[in-house]
Structure 1
Amino acid sequence: MFHAAWNQYLNRMRHTAASDLKLFFSRTFALSWKSIRTLIGDKNIVLMGPPGAGKTTVGKIVGQKLDCCFIDVDDDVLEKTWNMPVSEKLKDVGKEQFLEEEGKALLSLSASGSVISLTGSNPMHVASMQHVKKNGIVVYLDVPTQSIMERLELMKVDRIVGQGPSTSLKDLLQFRKQFYNKWYDVRVVCENGITATAVAEKVLHAVERYQDSESEGLISTRGLKCEQKPSIKFFSDAVVEGLAPDGGLFVPLMGLPKFTAGEWQCLLGATYAERAQLILERCIHPADIPVPELWAIVEAAYGQNFTCSKIAPVRHLTSNQFLLELFHGPTASFKDLALQLMPRLFAYCIPKSCNYLIMVATSGDTGSAVLDGFNRLTETDKQRIAVITFFPENGVSPIQKIQMIGCQGKNTTVVGVQSDFDFCQSAIKKMFSNSDYTGFLTAEYGTALSAANSINWARLLPQVVYHASAYLDLVDQNVITFGCPVDVCIPTGNFGNILAAVYAKRMGIPIRKCICASNQNNVLTDFIRTGLYDLRGRKLMQSSSPAIDILKSSNLERHLHLMANGDGPAVAQLFSDLENQHYFQLQKEFLEKLQQDLVADWCSEKDCLDAIHSVYNSTGYILDPHTAVAKVVADRVQDKTCPVIISSTAHYSKFAPAILQALRMEEIKQTPLGQLHLLNSYKPLPPVHRGLLETVEKNKQPSHPVCAADMNVLMEHVEALIQKQFMKVF
């Protein structure tokens, strides 16, 4: 009941004036607060945040709604303990001693079933925060720093605890955030203009969500409808299992959370990691990954591994076109944005009693990104996790192949397959669904299988972040104001990247259209235009943009499930038809719904290379072939009434032969090393990508196993790696 009301609130919030919020809440929430009171039991609700965040005002409202005791630490604990005003105590003892005395006083607090408002500096004392967390749910009232400064000015407060003469208020507030981030269980984003009553409602919802992990499960795209009690998995289970038991893909039962416009605007000026944290903590229940652990994972993923501080910067290309550069990670492709994070999520979620083999199918970039990401795990984690990557032997660029081979570690290996990506992907899915085989691996080696392709929910979810971040960056750059629409144009093969943009739109980012850009393997273009997904007689054609040389787009299944309002059996029938008859046809109303989000076109090889040449001549910027495909399609279908963000999915140096051909070089040396040196002299590579030269030089004569397109042979490679990596179970 509460969830339905809350979803209704979120859908209407952006159209509701702040002055109307109190009336709106009174009409919308018919919830018995007694049920929330019962839910928290003897737990305290502990409000934390900077001075001026409204902890006292909001705390009193929450206490009234729950009919429970409200405790203000300043008035009810500190002043009663010290028998003097807090300001006088601070003058008497100084900053350092004050924090210690304040912490000691809080240690004496004994309460249950109460609402407690902390001081702004309490979180800086470890022992006292550990004390309140033992019997409390800590709620962080996250108010924008500028709003806090304005509130404190109105309150005539020009200095707070810990602020020296050479420290600005803004810097101190920013400094304190690290302590708030360390302790909170749930966060409430307090957007500009929101009333205290509205914040109190959000606090109660956040507490209910924290206590109720059952409501945020994931279901299979091929499962029964929601009202028929589907098989529900927790986030951690879905991450570990990768693929649903019925062959479907995991999706959130209740859909993704929606942010208000004000909540998104609170992320303007934030770092990429801060944006990722807020988005992910609303999508991952703290029962699966508590906030402090999630913070550590996010900071490790987006800390020192990217050469651009913006992680995924947006830069102007020409006219109303902007490039979202997704190639600043350690393997120079957009896959790094998810695969620096996903292995850490996976390692946190897996049980300690089992070994795991990650199976990966790649059309090029995923392979090296997965290998790099899992190689960065701790030695303890690498003892329990191994990775095998299958790729089409003749379906990736020479640089991509060398990079994959060079990224291998003691627990990772790559295998070339004499087939295409679709075979590799299908083979992995068949191994997952072969219960005899998976049972044998578990019984004989104590090893379970999982996946790191975008069929894994933990791989897809982080991709939502960079689409949201790109929009916010355009607002930060004063290209648009928040609420103005943009289009996004994405080179698309397996449908994960563009699906993440659709999800960002559903979460409240004002994306108008998602433009699906294909190369000559244009099955998605035909499908989005006609509703017919037809593989009959269609052969995969190799191109200079190999990452989108795909005919069976796995993540399309998730999008169809979204369009079908969760009708799993209908989705299962579509993909059964595709498997057995090699095509399926959408009904008219289904297609019309699909086309509300998507528009599509495709690009020939010649047009792709011409675009690289043209853009370089006019701007000096070198597009990689996948980005060039998107540029051509954007030029054709975008109506120029709003900005278009083109996803630049890889660095051009990974596709040296195509780039040199496009730039009309008279002599193209045949070896990858020679090509890279030539490209580097033509236009110097960024420092991180010069590492590709070192990779090539270390692997002048690379070797790796190559096998036939035979399921049994692939299964033998899987077992061989398990035998090498893990001890047998006797």
Structure 2
Amino acid sequence: MGLPGAGKTTVGRIVAHRLGMPAIDVDDDILELTWKMPVSAKLEAVGGELFLEEEGQALCNFSVSGCVVSLTGSNPLHTAAMQHVRESGLVVYLDVDCDDIIQRLARMKVNRIVGQEAGASMRDILSYRKQFYEKWLDLRVLCGKGDTVEEIVEKVLKAVERYHNHNAESYVSTRTDGLESANRNTHFSDVVVEGLATDGGLYVPKSGFPIIGAREWLRLVDMSYPERALVLLEKCIHPLDVSALDLRTMVFKAYGANFASQAVAPVKHLIHNQYIQELFHGPTASFKDLALQLMPQLFAHCLPVMCNYLVLVATSGDTGSAVLSGFGGLGGVDKHRTGVLVFFPEDGVSEIQKLQMTSYSDEGNARAVSVRSDFDFCQRSIKRMFGESGLTGYLSVEYGTVLSTANSINWARLLPQVVYHSSAYLDLCRDGVIKFGEPIDVCVPSGNFGNAMSALYAKQMGVPIRKIICASNHNRILTDFISTGEYDLRGRPLMLSHSPAIDILKSSNIERFIHHVSGGDSRLVKELFTSLDTQQHFKVPEALLGRIQQEVLGGWCSEDDCLSAIKSVHSQTGYLMDTHTAVAKVVADRLQDGACPVVICSTAHYGKFAPAVFQALGIESIPEDPIEQLRLLALRASKPEMHRDMMTCLEKGGRRGHTVCEAEYSGLVEEVEGMIQDSFLKVM
């Protein structure tokens, strides 16, 4: 299936030959035999609308098996015909660039196609047609600009082979060796629901990420963010886990009108060779929205039908409101079967972050509870709950409820982040800053290392990222690890900062990183992280440290440096950064050599950390009301604009009471059981 001129007949014949099957061309072998006249004559005789109906009926009346069938370019416009086709076979969409199609049609002297009304350009009708191909495809074959017929044939054969070999795209725990994993096929739908592996490790794809060639990347340059996301995620999620049509529905819902910027994650020039990728245009003003507007939909889609699920989340600030927004947005049966409970440190998040999280208390399936401790205690407690078979068994038997997680330990949280790193590179290509193949650096303010890890995965897929720069605040555990290879929590207190979302000492995705740089050495990973759990310390072998330093750079900045960067950038450019973006800016200035552009990930809107930003700008008369704080800041910033949804949330929510727990594991367990009772045991 594909546009007129996509090469369906030519490719279909060669594919049929390679598979030892007959080839059938709908035009030549069905329509002309049925009508006893050329297709062009039929179109001229009956006109476009009647032609489409008669063409569709002819296909409905034809059945075949064990063949390769080349559809017409207009078959997908007929619903009944395509339903008939999908019932009997696998629909492969040859997704060819419009410019290539127009050139081919010109060479074939075709200046008008079925359904093209007077006054409509060829480009318009081709663009219109694509929605129908997206509706019916089982598999997309993305054809790069200039791909030969032979190259497209190979892509088709590989796509069909992939479809029929679901087990080849299995997932393994970072702590499980090859012999153990060989006995079990764990698919995408399994890891989304399970979150954490049963042995305490994190799931990763057994065969790594698909590598995308340069010509395919170039196809993505002119696409919108949702279109890019769809193509990339199709390559990473097997269609038997999530069908192409279902994935399309989810992606376009996730990255639609809920984002204040149509570009979703725009890249803007800051100063010199530095660019900022604004990741805060989602409903909760944080980069977490890029994953958590999609992840709950994937989660609900993959759920087995028999159980209720409670998603547990520990947050240092931004994840909380993002996950509450994402799961709160589920509808129907999904909402009744899925609850989310967020634990956050009472004194470790900004006032606006706290107001955002507690504003979701009216959502039937979403709740936030604060803890008189730090993020690491919250995360450690959740991991402990998953590891206690007595607890999980009790909740399953007593309440029919299974625990899962939406932290970045969940693969479905991490995977969508690969898209925005890829999109940043493509934006720079589209805007003429670089040519495809030229390198960039990426600087990420990171606490849990998930954002940095997703940049590494984008690099693995073929994005020419030279270095990932990991930026920390004075809780510089990642900087010290990258510098020395030693991860040491012994006697190390967590210090609160102006950038609370990265106030983390135990970075969960470091486990995936070590698995990555060690070439999948699960025994080493298990040994290191068992040591971290029991002795609060590990040190990697010297050879591995060298590989770590080839992949990432690490730096940190003081609180004063963070605030100074906010003031300096604002005075030079009028651009107002949040505290986390400022941490990345300081570290990029120190570690990036200027040999290529650097993209700084702006992970939150400045309004979320208003008091610190006021301090940076030297403004002393600060209103007590958070809404007034945001309005005052908006007057000071020429860019970016005040965040629409954050203001709306605060204006509607106001100050609400919320549950506060002491730093006791048993208290958190009680909150979990209470949430299950409230969510799933109500008498309707």
Q: TM class by shorter-chain length?
A: over 0.9
Query: 3-state SS of the aligned residue for 2:220?
Result: coil
Alignment of structure 1 residues 13-92 onto 2, 5 Å: 48-92=1-45
Shift of 1:697: 4.2
Amino acid of the residue matched to residue 610 of structure 1? S
Instruction: Tell me how far apart the structure 1 counterparts of residues 645 and 243 of structure 2 sit (CA, whole Å).
Output: 36
Partner of 2:412: 458
Instruction: Tell me how far apart the structure 1 counterparts of residues 648 and 296 of structure 2 sit (CA, whole Å).
Output: 25
Residue 417 in structure 1 maps to residue 371 in structure 2:
yes
Partner of 2:467: 513
Unpaired runs of 5+ residues, structure 2, are: none
Shift of 1:583: 1.1
Aligned 8 A contact 1:50 1:120 in 2: yes
Instruction: Tell me how far apart the structure 2 counterparts of residues 722 and 391 of structure 1 sit (CA, whole Å).
Output: 18
Aligned 8 A contact 2:283 2:645 in 1: no
Aligned 8 A contact 2:283 2:646 in 1: no
Query: 3-state SS of the aligned residue for 2:369?
Result: strand
Residue 358 in structure 1 maps to residue 320 in structure 2:
no
Instruction: Tell me how far apart the structure 2 counterparts of residues 401 and 349 of structure 1 sit (CA, whole Å).
Output: 31
Instruction: Tell me how far apart the structure 1 counterparts of residues 680 and 442 of structure 2 sit (CA, whole Å).
Output: 44
Alignment of structure 1 residues 113-512 onto 2, 5 Å: 113-225=66-178, 229=182, 231-408=184-361, 409-512=363-466
Q: Answer with 148-157 or 97-106: which moved more.
A: 148-157
Amino acid of the residue matched to residue 209 of structure 1? R
Query: 3-state SS of the aligned residue for 1:383?
Result: helix
Partner of 1:112: 65
Instruction: Tell me how far apart the structure 2 counterparts of residues 725 and 399 of structure 1 sit (CA, whole Å).
Output: 26
The alpha-carbon distance between structure 1 residues 228 and 650, as it changes in their structure 2 partners (threshold 3 A), is closer
- Cα shift readout 1:185-229 (whole Å, capped 9, x = no counterpart): 111111122211121111111101111111111111111136862
Aligned 8 A contact 2:313 2:340 in 1: yes
Partner of 2:602: 648
Q: Answer with 88-97 or 157-166: which moved more.
A: 157-166
Partner of 1:30: none
Instruction: Tell me how far apart the structure 1 counterparts of residues 301 and 622 of structure 2 sit (CA, whole Å).
Output: 47
Residue 540 in structure 1 maps to residue 499 in structure 2:
no
Instruction: Tell me how far apart the structure 2 counterparts of residues 115 and 696 of structure 1 sit (CA, whole Å).
Output: 57
Partner of 1:8: none
The alpha-carbon distance between structure 1 residues 691 and 79, as it changes in their structure 2 partners (threshold 3 A), is closer
Amino acid of the residue matched to residue 557 of structure 1? E
Aligned 8 A contact 2:260 2:644 in 1: no
The alpha-carbon distance between structure 1 residues 201 and 696, as it changes in their structure 2 partners (threshold 3 A), is closer
Query: 3-state SS of the aligned residue for 1:356?
Result: strand
Shift of 1:109: 1.8
Instruction: Tell me how far apart the structure 2 counterparts of residues 543 and 489 of structure 1 sit (CA, whole Å).
Output: 19
Aligned 8 A contact 1:358 1:449 in 2: yes
- Cα shift readout 1:351-393 (whole Å, capped 9, x = no counterpart): 1211010101000010000001111111321111111100000
The alpha-carbon distance between structure 1 residues 98 and 698, as it changes in their structure 2 partners (threshold 3 A), is closer
Counterpart among 585, 593, 599 of residue 631 in structure 1: 585
Aligned 8 A contact 1:446 1:728 in 2: no
Partner of 1:33: none
Q: Answer with 510-519 or 374-383: which moved more.
A: 374-383
Shift of 1:688: 6.7
Partner of 1:9: none
Shift of 1:684: 7.5
The alpha-carbon distance between structure 1 residues 356 and 478, as it changes in their structure 2 partners (threshold 3 A), is same
Aligned 8 A contact 1:444 1:728 in 2: no
Shift of 1:677: 3.4
Aligned 8 A contact 2:187 2:241 in 1: yes
Instruction: Tell me how far apart the structure 1 counterparts of residues 305 and 464 of structure 2 sit (CA, whole Å).
Output: 42
TM-align CA RMSD? 1.5
Aligned 8 A contact 1:218 1:235 in 2: yes
Shift of 1:592: 1.1
Shift of 1:686: 6.9
Instruction: Tell me how far apart the structure 2 counterparts of residues 108 and 482 of structure 1 sit (CA, whole Å).
Output: 48
Query: 3-state SS of the aligned residue for 1:266?
Result: helix
The alpha-carbon distance between structure 1 residues 694 and 62, as it changes in their structure 2 partners (threshold 3 A), is closer
The alpha-carbon distance between structure 1 residues 617 and 685, as it changes in their structure 2 partners (threshold 3 A), is closer
Aligned 8 A contact 1:677 1:693 in 2: no
Instruction: Tell me how far apart the structure 2 counterparts of residues 387 and 427 of structure 1 sit (CA, whole Å).
Output: 16
Paired residue total: 682
Amino acid of the residue matched to residue 615 of structure 1? V
Partner of 1:595: 549
The alpha-carbon distance between structure 1 residues 596 and 325, as it changes in their structure 2 partners (threshold 3 A), is same
- Cα shift readout 1:74-130 (whole Å, capped 9, x = no counterpart): 111111111111111000011100000110111122211111111100000011111
Alignment of structure 1 residues 551-570 onto 2, 5 Å: 551-570=505-524
Shift of 1:183: 0.7
Amino acid of the residue matched to residue 565 of structure 1? G
Q: Answer with 714-723 or 373-382: which moved more.
A: 373-382
Aligned 8 A contact 2:174 2:204 in 1: yes
The alpha-carbon distance between structure 1 residues 127 and 305, as it changes in their structure 2 partners (threshold 3 A), is same
Identity %: 58
Instruction: Tell me how far apart the structure 1 counterparts of residues 181 and 348 of structure 2 sit (CA, whole Å).
Output: 43
Partner of 1:662: 616
Aligned 8 A contact 1:224 1:230 in 2: no
- Cα shift readout 1:22-46 (whole Å, capped 9, x = no counterpart): xxxxxxxxxxxxxxxxxxxxxxxxx
Shift of 1:695: 3.5
Aligned 8 A contact 2:607 2:642 in 1: no
Instruction: Tell me how far apart the structure 1 counterparts of residues 489 and 333 of structure 2 sit (CA, whole Å).
Output: 44
Residue 678 in structure 1 maps to residue 632 in structure 2:
yes
Instruction: Tell me how far apart the structure 2 counterparts of residues 170 and 712 of structure 1 sit (CA, whole Å).
Output: 63
* Structure-2-length-normalised TM-score: 0.98
Shift of 1:591: 1.1
Query: 3-state SS of the aligned residue for 1:390?
Result: strand
- Cα shift readout 1:403-455 (whole Å, capped 9, x = no counterpart): 11113312111111011101101110100111000000000000000001111
Query: 3-state SS of the aligned residue for 1:533?
Result: strand
Residue 722 in structure 1 maps to residue 664 in structure 2:
no
Instruction: Tell me how far apart the structure 2 counterparts of residues 429 and 588 of structure 1 sit (CA, whole Å).
Output: 30
- Cα shift readout 1:46-94 (whole Å, capped 9, x = no counterpart): xx00011111111111111122100011111111111111111000011
Instruction: Tell me how far apart the structure 2 counterparts of residues 421 and 326 of structure 1 sit (CA, whole Å).
Output: 22
Instruction: Tell me how far apart the structure 1 counterparts of residues 513 and 54 of structure 2 sit (CA, whole Å).
Output: 56
Unpaired runs of 5+ residues, structure 1, are: 1-47
Shift of 1:679: 1.9
Aligned 8 A contact 1:226 1:566 in 2: no
- Cα shift readout 1:613-670 (whole Å, capped 9, x = no counterpart): 0000000000000000000000011010100000000000000000001011132234
- Cα shift readout 1:264-295 (whole Å, capped 9, x = no counterpart): 11111101111111111111111111111111
Amino acid of the residue matched to residue 94 of structure 2? L
Q: Answer with 696-705 or 446-455: which moved more.
A: 696-705
